[in-house]
Amino acid sequence: IFDIPTLVTYISQFMTLMPGDIIATGTPAGVGLGQNPPVFLRPGQRVVLGAEGLGEQTHRTVSTPRHAGT
């Protein structure tokens, strides 16, 4: 729950950040759990992740098998 400048300042205290370094910031605002009603990914949906200058990755969601006892 910190803004990007605060994260960069903090991380820079214990490591050198170089151009191209990526800081994973976690879940962005507007996630499905925070919607009313909640919205979740369903099997077969497509998720596209990308970063300018690095390209994109595309993944299809699948159902998670339920294990005995869960």
Amino acid at 17: L
DSSP element (H, E) containing 11: helix 4-12
pLDDT at 70: 59
Q: Which residues contact 8 (CB under 8 A, 6 or more apart)?
A: 17, 23
Q: What is the pTM of this model?
A: 0.49
22 close to 51: Cβ distance less than 8 angstroms: yes
pLDDT single digits (tens) 16-55: 999 988 888 877 777 888 888 998 899 999 999 888 888 9
